[in-house]
Structure 1
Amino acid sequence: MDDILFISDTSDGQNWGCYETSRQLRNLLLESVDIQYTVFLNEIRDPIRTTVPPSLSDVQYLIGESSKIFESSSPIYRRFLDHGLRPAKHVFDIYPRVMDQFENKSELFLKSKLFGKYFPDPGNIDQVVINGEGSIHGNRIKSRILLFFAYIWRVKLDKPTHIVNHTLQIDTPELKEMIKVIYPQLNSIAFREPISKLEYHSKIGDTNNTIQAADTAWLLDDCLTKTDLNTILRQGGMSVWHPTEIQPSFDFTDRYVCVSGGSGFGHGKEDSEKIAEIIRSLLDNNIDANILLVAPAQHDEHILLRVAEGFNLPLAKVSNNSLVGASIIGNSELYLGGRWHGSIFALLNGARLVNFKANTFKMRGLKDMTNHPYQIYPSQQAGNKADEIAKSVISGLDKSIGDGQEKMIKSLQSMSRKNLDGVREDV
């Protein structure tokens, strides 16, 4: 079997979905290849750094950024910070910010000690699999580092390289240029929802290396029952926070809805208040179900703790493992939230959905894949639309899931396995 370098294993992510996706993806890989070495998510988010002498491409990058000082409408101090001081610092970074820097900086990276720290025994690698979960978008560190590593392994080292299981939103000129150069050279590109594939082909062009797949989290098929959850909570195996109860109680066999935040929300009190307005409206309209706040991600926990305290509600914390978290959401009557994986966990077990928009178009992509007629509300307007959202939740409790749910799940599970079609072809 081929030896694989697995880049961006998200098992160390503060997110139920990150963990479950990588758990399933690793299992899928091990069916046909050996994982020789893994680079984990937080090594991508907070990369080891070193300084290098600037090259001509770095100087050109600095000049290009400096010109934006006079074009931007931001306050003058922001312009000098974003387009002057920071770019001046970046030219000494070994990692590129724009496509023109990739060639020189990749040569420097290959000669540096960092290459050996990230990739020990490179001669033993047959193929490289990069987990793009959740999204490649914007000018974020994670997006740039993943594409830089893809460039090094595919272009410089000529190894079969694949980016799988991801959403791609081409939303900046810098990212578009990177995608335009790197993606056509990859051996396979597997998208987890259809909008990304359409976006790639419409903005970059037709290439024969794209695969319409689905998120590997769809392969989770062993959710716990309501009775199991009650037992785990009673025995202290579940992390639930309550503002007034040291040992919180909750009966999972009763009707309940799960409420979370999502990547479209910020971290401030105003974001807590948006969720609070919805909870207030649900209670004012006498919702016929208990309310359980859930934090599938660390981000959600920050804003939901305030909501839990304000309404004396229990909060299932992010520290629960992904199986418990998925089962909590899946056994609910309805999941209200903006989490991609939280929504998958709901659908896998027959729970209904009302969604918030995320920081990319992925929630719309999920709706297109599943063909479910649920509502998706803008996260930033959640407070203003609290009554409308609450009515959607209450009316959704009694809606039929409809026929074809089991067939849809089997189809998406089959598509999940397509993430590695390109890897299997190169074995």
Structure 2
Amino acid sequence: MKVFLINDSSSNSNWGDRAAATALKQMIVECGGKIHGIITEDDLRYSRLFHKTTPAPEQIHQNHRIKDLIRMFLPPIMFELRKGLQRLYQNNKSGNSVYIPQTVNDFDSCAGLFLQREHSGTDCLDLIESSDVIVIHGDGCMVGNGIIPRTILFLGYLIKQYLNKKVVIVNHTTEFDHPDLYQMARKVYPLFDDVVFRDTFSVDHCNSLCRGRYCADTAFLFKPALRSEWEVISSRAGYFDVWPDTARFDPSKAYICMGGSSLFYCEGDSTHIINKYAELVKRVQKTFAGQIVLTSSDIVDQGIMRSIAQLLELPLVGLQIPVQQAVDIVGNAEAYIGGRWHPSIFALRGGTPVIPLSSKTFKMQALVQMAGLDFNASDALSLENEYDVIVDRLLSCLKQGNSLRMKLKQWAENEAEACWGNVDCLKHRSI
């Protein structure tokens, strides 16, 4: 079965984007699918939809290597500014983004432009037309009104209405908080052959749009190593040092992981976030006698967590670490404090309790509720009002010890088996 994949988010350096897309591609292949065409997340962001050939994975890696190196040294605000300027340039210079509608009323006119074969490089359309099923990896894109969600919805419409192909959208959260994107969704979601959400909140949120269903995030497929088998190798000095970050800690001894939130970027100047978060770390250190390991799972968090790591002389597990190592680290921690969806999944997969911080959408609240943790996400932008709450929750989780860990681990293992439902469109698994 030939599969065309839209929004391969492994082009993003974010831990979770890499994990979810990698797992989804593995599932597709193990179910007998052949991925013969891909549009990456970066392709969507920059409207690069007309590859003359589909790049091999090693070519994609090479194309993004220099950019990832630049990301490590630029402040997050500079990278976001570059994205905005790139989009503005494309729109003003009549680049490929002219094919992407601004509103639902532009769908058919943009489809007419898109289907014209005169423009250079029609490999995208050729591959779509020769596919048996088009799989859209929705991920966390369906929020706001940026070019990525608009492009995804437009491609879904074009493929269903004009090319009459089977199209499914899987593994995603929706929060249609912008009226233009919501109107697009109203038009497109009823057309999809299958709609799979990664949280129950989105199912309820979209019950008026479509007959969607819940299925666990594909990232649940990643499983942490058993500490008894892992700590001998990983305890070697420098094992988790991924330049330029240093993560010197002893995994054979108790440690807590602490991470950031997608809301940190919204604040602009990060000085006060650094100070507030550093104070939270100090409060946790007074309560927990073990090690504190900071995590940077997204470019938004990187500058902030690096500053805190230097200020408090703490180990930092950085952005460039392999996904499986990140899963091993977070999944074997005593607890995870943070506002990141996928690192929280990594934690739960190993039975690590999650003390949630808020994020841009409701997804952290949804995840801890699905996992059976009776916590409201603490406001990541008002940590000074949350110190006592976070510490009390941490103490409660630590007190419950192995009984809570086993409960969370069993729930996550069930989710790992159920997450194969994301590829029900491929009928049968080949394993």
Give the 3-state SS of the residue equivalent to 1:32 in structure 2.
coil
Contact residue 350 and residue 409 of structure 2 kept, 8 A: no
1:287 aligns with 2:288: yes
Q: What amino acid sits opposite 1:417 in the alignment? A: W
Summarize deviations over 1:247-279 as a string: whole Å, max 9, x none: 763111111100110112226222222311201
- Which residue is 2:155 aligned to? 149
Which shows bigger deviation, 273-282 or 173-182? 273-282
* Equivalent residue number for residue 218 of structure 1: 220
Q: Distance in 2 between matches of 1:235 and 1:379?
A: 33
Residue of structure 2 equivalent to 1:332: 333
Which residue is equivalent to 2:36?
36
How far apart in 2 are the matches of 1:215 and 1:147? 20
Which of these residues, 182, 187, 194, is aligned with residue 188 of structure 2? 182
Counting aligned pairs with the same residue, the percent is 27
Provide Cα deviations, 1:287-314, integer angstroms capped at 9, x if missing partner. 2221110112222212101111111111
- Number of equivalences: 383
- How many angstroms apart in 2 are the aligned matches of 1:165 and 1:231? 34
Equivalent residues in 2 for 1:19-418 (5 A)?
19-30=18-29, 31-48=31-48, 89=92, 93-111=98-116, 113=119, 116-202=122-208, 204=209, 207-208=210-211, 210-223=212-225, 225=227, 228-229=230-231, 231-232=233-234, 234=236, 236-239=238-241, 249-266=248-265, 268-283=270-285, 285-400=286-401, 401-402=403-404, 404-418=407-421
Measured in 2, the distance between the counterparts of 1:110 and 1:222 equals 45
Q: Alpha carbons of 1:255 and 1:190: their partners in 2 closer, same or farther (altered >3 Å)?
A: same
Distance (whole Å) between structure 2 residues aligned to residue 250 and residue 407 of structure 1: 28
Question: Which whole-Å deviations, capped at 9, do the CAs of 1:54-84 have from their partners, x for residues lacking one?
Answer: xxxxxxxxxxxxxxxxxxxxxxxxxxxxxxx
Cα deviation 1:187-239 (Å, max 9, x = unaligned): 1110011110110014x3xx44x222110111223535366356246365523
Query: Aligned in 2, Cα 1:233/1:90: closer, same or farther, shift over 3 Å?
Result: farther
CA displacement 1:2-54 (0-9 Å, x = unmatched): 2110111111211111111112111111123211111111111222389xxxx
Shift of 1:329: 0.5
Deviations 1:325-383 (A, max 9, x none): 01110111000001111111111101111011111111122123212224420111123
Q: Which is greater in Rg?
A: 1
On the 8 A contact 1:278/1:387 being kept in 2, the answer is no
Equivalent residue, structure 2, for 1:71: none
CA distance in 2, matches of 1:362, 1:417: 20
Distance of 1:157 and 1:375 partners within structure 2: 45
- Over the aligned positions, Cα root-mean-square deviation in angstroms equals 2.8
Q: TM-score scaled by structure 2?
A: 0.81
Give the whole-Å Cα distance in 1 for the aligned partners of 2:361 and 2:98.
Answer: 28
What is the CA-CA distance between 1:395 and the residue it aligns to? 3.8
Displacement, 1:120? Answer: 4.5
Q: 5+ unaligned residues in a row in structure 2: which ranges?
A: 51-87
Cα distance in structure 1, aligned partners of 2:311 and 2:153: 43
Is the contact made by 2:10 and 2:21 (CA closer than 8 Å) also made in structure 1?
yes
2:57: which partner in 1?
Answer: none
Residues 235 and 252 in structure 2, CA contact (< 8 A), matched pair in contact too: no
Cα–Cα, structure 1 residues 281 and 407, in superposed 2: closer, same or farther, change >3 Å?
closer
Deviations 1:129-176 (A, max 9, x none): 010112411102211111111112111111100110000112111111
| Alignment check: 8 A CA contact 1:343 1:353 kept | yes
Question: What is the CA–CA distance in structure 1 between the aligned matches of 2:244 and 2:287, rounded to whole Å?
Answer: 21
Q: TM-score, normalised by structure 1?
A: 0.82
Query: How far apart are residue 89 of structure 1 and its match?
Result: 4.9
